[in-house]
Structure 1
Amino acid sequence: MAANVVPMLYPKKSYLREDLITLMNSNASIVLRKKPNRWGHFPLAIRITKNRKSSYLYIGHYIDIKYWDKNKGQVKNSHENAARLNNLLLTKLAETNKRLLELQTDNKDYSAGQIKKELSICEKDSNFFELGDIHLEEIKANNRYGRYSVDKAYLGHIEKFLKCRKLSYKDLDELFLRRYMQYLRSTAKVSDRTIANHLVFIRLIFNRAIRQGLIDRKFYPFGRDKIVIRFPETGKVGLTREEVKKIENLKDLSKEEHHARNVWLFSFYLAGIRIADVLKMRWSDIYDNRIHYTMSKNSKLVSLQLPDKIHTILKDYITDKRAENDYIFPELKVANPESEKSLFDKTKRGNRVLNSYLSKVASKAGVKKKLSMHIARHSFGNIAGDKISIQMLQKLYRHSSVTTTIMYQSNFMNKDTDKALNRVLDF
């Protein structure tokens, strides 16, 4: 029997109640799904119920549960984007109601899942940029400013390529992707690895569109016989033991160069700690002759014994210690500790300044390789080589899988291949 739909009446103040649309045997309402994402935020969705069976259309926004008013079925005013989100919810609910009325007019009797599929067809002209913007808002709301900066650049490149912000998912086909890859290679002048990262970003947004019913999976442009994302092998160059010694023994450095060397060596001595974690180190993180911190990249806890060489570096900064929880290095002392955005900006600028002075340090030391903060990690891997077991290196790097460690160290473990080559040529 076809679903009987009554006209949608909005109460005063546009409260989003679950009885906004009532059908004799089906209804639609705005709900907050109780399936949080990895950051603990819950998705807003339209619930379509038919004969006590429900299906959900996700609108692409997540909120903390504390901002959800269950009784009114709307986002609380305490949320910074409450008005915008509530207007969006009302609009999507109206679109759903309109399509249900059309189905009733056509005398079509659908299950909740079929109704969802029919409603999704209405979104066939959905814009890639809309979901891309939602993605950016989410990662920014979760204070992932590094990821936000990178993904925003990816979306910007697509806009430059199109010269507009309109791209339907059906137009985002294999031909489009091949043209875009050629644009990145010839016009944007980016590396093959960066091109692969662009494709990963597009694939992420396209997969979200499929999950939300914005496009049918048959239009998916990735996979066998279509676009296959391949990451090229990248050579990681680290300093040798002799080159590190040259850096350590340098004299006649300026104050800025001396500081840059200290930060680089601090990272190197502790198995190549990433710059974001180095600059966030506080004096309170050091106790029992160990340093304890949480990795910014994956939130893993790390505890490392302090080598004697680290104590020598710390002596240069102890006089500037203002409190027990003060930062060891000066870059973040001027940041707002309550603002992740401020910490990210100051870290990014600090890394850029340090790298500029490290290039001068390398020149004075006679090191021809490019010296940067990230090279500290590669240098540790290069010198560790075959001296430390893969399992121990995995612990030092805090890799989740030993396979990751093997892949990383494969750039530096050349001892066996060198011996094999020499044995062949020894005649």
Structure 2
Amino acid sequence: MRRWLALVMAATTSLVLIALLVPMALLIGTVAENGAVNRATDAAESVAAAVSTLTPEELALTVEQVTASGGYPLTVFLPDGRTLGRPVPRSDAVRLAALGRSVTARVPGGNEVLVSVQSPSLGAVVVRVFVSEADLNRGVREAWIGLLALGLALIVLGIVVADRLARTVTTSIAALAEVSHRLAGGELAARASAEGPREVRSVALALNHLAGRIDDLLAAERESVVDLSHRLRTPLTGLRLNAEALTDSGEAKQIGARVDDLERAVTSIINTARRRSPVRESCDATSVVVDRVRFWSVLAEDQDREMRLDLPSKPLPVAVASNELAACVDALFGNVFAHTPEGVSFGVRLGPGAEGGASLVVTDAGPGFGAEWLVRGNSGGDSTGLGLDIARRTAESSGGSLSVGAAPAGGAVVEVTFGPPASP
């Protein structure tokens, strides 16, 4: 923007200066020419005034003196054909002036100023003064150079002033852009300062109003999530009481464990919603995945599913909280159990990531799925489509990613990478 304003100012100033300085330059040339002609006319008239009182010999001496003092070559044409001073041929203008008319004529190399005078003793005498091109344009070039320097100085001054004004505007706009980037990065407390031109101040106030509105909406959404999650505690409590009332202690223990997992998930949702800027936690991916595999292996055994495991024996720290990673693994396993027939085998492989962290790959021998499963709420099947979206958001929150594809022998492949925790 600064460059654009500088170019506009330079173009505008140039046009104004051209409109002013070109006529002024032409006027300077005309004034210089008129001045030279006037000085030559004065010299010719001074000689003409002495024609009637001097003899030809005295007149010749006067011509030499005037030529030496004035600097212009003088010639006096006498009626008898003699020429005093600088010898030049009689031109048509000289013959015209001999008829009694004083004229100024253009000749090669300059102008000739002709003054006609009637002498009682000599008759019609013509005094000629020659003004060369150098005399006509004396000082013009220097004046033009001065005007050019003045024009360039004014253009530079205009560009500097435009740049200062543009800097005021662009600085305010850059500050607004920085605030918008901070808001986009989750720093909802960022606000723009109302500085700069009136229009920029108006935009800053509008941006601050928008940021406040976003903050209010997020606060309302968090409260809604907390309220909804808190309402789930009542049916969870009833479900726990029903589980404890079961006569089969093993079944009661199994249902109670699942109720505990559900209650932990609800508690995690409430805590996450209440935190304005949640602190990123970390966990050992190996222990979490092993724990969830142990949990789902019971259901896999009931459905006669073969579970192929490739799990490391060493810890793999990742930048994800343990409950969030557990929810991610549960979402991936839940998709396998929900969208493949019973008896279909699946595999779980966990290993270190290419740049640290961990890589979790879940494969199955089911019908597979397309890329539309990645769209939240659009699974392409009889589901909400949120399972893969939960896994994707968990991976991206740690700096990782999620990708889906087809297995070589058929079925689906889901690979989730998790970034390493930040160095202390």
Q: TM-score range by the shorter chain?
A: under 0.3
Give the structure with the higher percent helix.
2
Give the structure with the higher percent strand.
2
Structure with higher Rg: it is: 2
Higher RCO (CA-CA < 8 Å; seq separation 6+) = 1
TM-score, normalised with respect to structure 1: 0.24
TM-score, normalised with respect to structure 2: 0.24
